Chain A
Amino acid sequence: MSATEPPTYQPAVPSTPITRSTPKIHVELTPDPLNPQEATTFVRSPSAGATVLFIGTTRDSFNDLPVSSLAYTSYAPLAINTLYSIAESILQKHECTKITIVHKLGECPIEEESIVIAVSAKHRQAAWRAGEEALEETKKRAEIWKLERFEGGEGVWRANRDGVMGVRVEDEGIQTEGGGVNGPGTAGTGGT
């Protein structure tokens, strides 16, 4: 059995964005390309003097191993609740004006945006701190998983917590329906 994925594996993702919004908070999980400009537009406010924008992009290596592609999957109903709760507590704690957290699902080509966070506040210190904390909390808590595919090899589910590659195990005894190079065809996840 294996905790890795064959090179052909495609994660199931929702076909349309999943969002939760109030006038001050917007969180979203989307299969579409991310738009940083939309994020900064959302957090604009006449009472805010500072906007901090963070853009996370996908890197072409992990521990010096070449990564050929990445895909994200999620337990969307839970992850959207978690993102909202992170946004809500950060808004309060740092007395920010508005905040948005948007994460990509599905295939994310190397060097494209996988996460966009924008936060506005009256002054810059609060906005910097809130932006950093929003990212760290999201990486720690949001129920989203990254599959890194290495050149010439299978995909490996990554864990932020320990910063190490997922466990690779022998292929012997795989008990999947499809078997062979294409199975587990049903493996992977989807929020819907």
Chain B
Amino acid sequence: MGPSASPAGHFVVLYFAAAASYTGKTSEHLASPMAAGELFGRLEQLYPGIRARVLESCAVTVNLQYINLDGDDAEGARVLLKEGDEVAIIPPVSSG
């Protein structure tokens, strides 16, 4: 996994914990470019119900940096997901 693994015109999305259970995958490639604000909608199309069940309690990172997708005018929504980016869906954590 990782940015170099993406085919041309795609970024990779990593799924962890409940997100991996729901999708049945640990990662997949989606077509780039895409505004980050459209990501959850795209995933809802692919996995009906995932938004309410999983994504609404998740954070999102792009190339190991968190972006803010909370609220309709969140600045993170305008981040462009580009070819080769590594995007990750981060469910609530549970270490310890």
A183: Cβ under 8 A from any B Cβ: yes
B71: Cβ under 8 A from any A Cβ: no
- The answer for the CA separation of A183 and B21 in the assembled complex, in Å, is 10
In the complex, what residue of chain A is closest to B16 when comparing beta carbons? A189
Taken residue by residue from 54 to 90, chain B's Cβ proximity to chain A (1 for < 8 Å, 0 otherwise) reads as: 1001000100100000000000000000000000101
Taken residue by residue from 1 to 22, chain B's Cβ proximity to chain A (1 for < 8 Å, 0 otherwise) reads as: 1000000000000111110111
Q: Chain A interface secondary structure, helix, strand, loop or mixed?
A: loop
Q: How large is the interface on B (under 10, 10 to 19, 20 to 34, 35 or more residues)?
A: 20 to 34
Taken residue by residue from 49 to 79, chain A's Cβ proximity to chain B (1 for < 8 Å, 0 otherwise) reads as: 0000000100000000000000011010110
Contact present for B96 and A187 (CB under 8 Å)? no
A34: Cβ under 8 A from any B Cβ: no
Contact present for A1 and B26 (CB under 8 Å)? no
Contact present for A146 and B95 (CB under 8 Å)? yes
Give every chain A residue within 8 A of B22 (Cβ-Cβ): 1-3
A37 to chain B: closest CB distance in Å?
Answer: 20
Tell me whether A115 and B95 are in contact in the complex, defined as CB-CB below 8 angstroms, given that A75-B14, A157-B18, A189-B16 are known contacts: yes
Contact present for A184 and B90 (CB under 8 Å)? no
Q: Which of A114, A158, A183 is in CB contact (< 8 Å) with B24? A: A183
- The answer for the CA separation of A166 and B22 in the assembled complex, in Å, is 12
Q: How large is the interface on A (under 10, 10 to 19, 20 to 34, 35 or more residues)?
A: 35 or more
In the complex, what residue of chain A is closest to B25 when comparing beta carbons? A186
Closest 4 CB pairs of A and B: A176-B24, A159-B92, A144-B95, A184-B24
A190: Cβ under 8 A from any B Cβ: yes
Taken residue by residue from 66 to 97, chain A's Cβ proximity to chain B (1 for < 8 Å, 0 otherwise) reads as: 00000011010110010000000000000000
Tell me whether A1 and B64 are in contact in the complex, defined as CB-CB below 8 angstroms, given that A139-B95, A159-B91 are known contacts: no
The interface centre, meaning the residue of B20, B25, B50, B54 with most chain A CB atoms within 10 A of its CB, is B20
B53: Cβ under 8 A from any A Cβ: yes
The interface centre, meaning the residue of A4, A145, A188 with most chain B CB atoms within 10 A of its CB, is A145
Give every chain A residue within 8 A of B95 (Cβ-Cβ): 72, 103, 114-115, 138-139, 142, 144-146, 160
- The answer for the CA separation of A177 and B20 in the assembled complex, in Å, is 13
Give every chain A residue within 8 A of B23 (Cβ-Cβ): 187
Q: Which of B15, B24, B93 is in CB contact (< 8 Å) with A177? A: B24
